[in-house]
Amino acid sequence: MGVIIANRRLLSLGLEAALIVSVLAHAPLVAAEDAPFFRVRSSDQAISEFIGLAATRSLTFRNLVALIQMSDGIVYVEPGTCRHGVRSCLSMTLVQTGGFRMLRILVNPTGSPWGLMESIGHELRHALEVLANPALTNSHEVFLFYRGISSTARDAFETPAALHTGDAVGEEVARSRRVIKRDGHAVHRWQ
Ligand SMILES: [Zn+2]
């Protein structure tokens, strides 16, 4: 009987150890509070690179990402087609899961990468408009919210804040390109 208990105890310890090893294997190699958890993400490698590049070139873009990082939102930026012939759009679909509000931005990744960064910046501002409002917990509420604040009609909603933010990101990445050309450093293949 004692042996069985001992074996059970060992078995239990073994499972605990396996669990700890498994958790550690999947944990980032930094302290939990410093864990890099990017709330703005993409399954598309090129888009991920453009997001990273925009954050290095535009303070406005960097601030957008930082604010989303502090929110309860996760924003996916994925290749896709928007209606009305626009290059990018924030989907009205909001999914709540695991304590997070998930939003999706669709972009056409072809064409000028600088224009793409501006478009993503514009849509991240829309994402923040939603995430800054904790009462918005489903897609219908997001739709009603935009119908209430939008400066345009029907389902092609627009806000001055997003237009302004996109312009600011566009100007900042353009300025960074001029600085790099003038000073001749930090050459990037999209320069
Ligand atoms: Zn917009």
Residues with CB under 5 A from ligand 1 (ion): 158, 162
- Within this chain, do residues 58 and 22 fall inside the same structural domain, yes or no? no
- Within this chain, do residues 15 and 74 fall inside the same structural domain, yes or no? no
Domain that holds residue 57: 40-183
- Within this chain, do residues 84 and 167 fall inside the same structural domain, yes or no? yes
Torsions phi, psi of 70, nearest 5? -85, -5
Rounded to whole angstroms, the Cα distance separating 45 from 23 reads: 26
Examine residue 189 and state whether it is found in any structural domain, yes or no.
no
pLDDT at residue number 84: 81
What is the whole-number distance in angstroms between the Cα of residue 177 and the centre of ligand 1? 25
pLDDT at residue number 181: 66
- Within this chain, do residues 107 and 158 fall inside the same structural domain, yes or no? yes
What is the whole-number distance in angstroms between the Cα of residue 87 and the centre of ligand 1? 10
- Within this chain, do residues 44 and 81 fall inside the same structural domain, yes or no? yes
What is the whole-number distance in angstroms between the Cα of residue 93 and the centre of ligand 1? 15
CB 113 within 8 A of CB 50: yes
- Within this chain, do residues 61 and 16 fall inside the same structural domain, yes or no? no
What is the whole-number distance in angstroms between the Cα of residue 100 and the centre of ligand 1? 23
Examine residue 191 and state whether it is found in any structural domain, yes or no.
no
Rounded to whole angstroms, the Cα distance separating 21 from 64 reads: 36
- Within this chain, do residues 28 and 116 fall inside the same structural domain, yes or no? no
- Within this chain, do residues 32 and 47 fall inside the same structural domain, yes or no? no
CB-CB neighbours of 64 under 10 Å: 26
Tell me the DSSP string of 112-150: -HHHHHHHHHHHHHHHHHHHT-TT--SHHHHHHHHHHH-
Dig out the tokens for 21 from the structure.
Answer: 């090893």
pLDDT at residue number 178: 80
Q: What SS3 class is residue 23?
A: helix
What is the whole-number distance in angstroms between the Cα of residue 161 and the centre of ligand 1? 9
- Within this chain, do residues 70 and 6 fall inside the same structural domain, yes or no? no
- Within this chain, do residues 20 and 84 fall inside the same structural domain, yes or no? no
**Residues 6 or more apart from 157 whose CB is under 8 A from it?**
146, 147, 150
What are the DSSP E strand ranges found in the chain? 40-41, 73-79, 88-90, 95-97, 100-107
C-alpha distances (whole Å) from 97 to each of 36, 43, 135, 167 are: 20, 19, 15, 33
Could you report the average pLDDT of every consecutive run of 10 residues in the chain (191 residues)?
Answer: 37 36 35 59 94 95 95 96 90 94 95 93 97 96 89 75 96 86 54 48
pLDDT at residue number 183: 64
Q: What SS3 class is residue 99?
A: coil
pLDDT at residue number 85: 83
What is the whole-number distance in angstroms between the Cα of residue 126 and the centre of ligand 1? 7
- Within this chain, do residues 176 and 105 fall inside the same structural domain, yes or no? yes
Examine residue 56 and state whether it is found in any structural domain, yes or no.
yes
Examine residue 188 and state whether it is found in any structural domain, yes or no.
no
**Residues 6 or more apart from 47 whose CB is under 8 A from it?**
77, 78, 79, 107, 109, 116, 120
What is the whole-number distance in angstroms between the Cα of residue 6 and the centre of ligand 1? 65
Structural domain tally of the chain?
A: 2
- Within this chain, do residues 10 and 90 fall inside the same structural domain, yes or no? no
What is the whole-number distance in angstroms between the Cα of residue 5 and the centre of ligand 1? 65
